[in-house]
């Protein structure tokens, strides 16, 4: 899936594009779908993922199946990290 980072609303110096790719491709990432259906066909996801450098990121993005456009990205909160770690432990 191609990553679209045009006109992002967060600082790309704070969260590097490579880190976003790694977090989104994390095989143990936790993905959530919102409740609402969208008329434009795009699906929005929320992901808790980890980078190769062990940085834990929260990402909000939409996708049409070919392109992923990241809307928000930040470090996980302590609660999100504990949730991710529990799910990661369940998978191992």
Residue 20 structural domain:
2-91
Dump pLDDT digits (tens) for 67-87: 888 988 999 999 999 999 999
Dump pLDDT digits (tens) for 35-71: 676 677 667 889 999 999 999 999 998 887 788 889 8
State the total domains in the chain. Answer: 1
What does the alpha-carbon distance between residue 91 and residue 85 come to, in Å, rounded to a whole number? 10
Dump pLDDT digits (tens) for 16-42: 999 999 999 999 999 987 767 667 766
């Amino acid at each position: 899936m191609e990553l679209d980072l045009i006109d992002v609303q967060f600082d790309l110096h704070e969260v590097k594009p490579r880190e976003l790719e790694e977090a989104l491709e994390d095989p143990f990432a936790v993905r959530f779908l919102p409740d609402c259906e969208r008329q434009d066909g795009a699906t929005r996801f929320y992901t808790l993922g980890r980078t190769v450098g062990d940085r834990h990121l929260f990402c909000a993005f939409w996708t049409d199946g070919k392109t992923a456009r990241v809307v928000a990205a930040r470090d996980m909160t302590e609660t999100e990290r504990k949730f991710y770690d529990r799910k990661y432990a369940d998978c191992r």
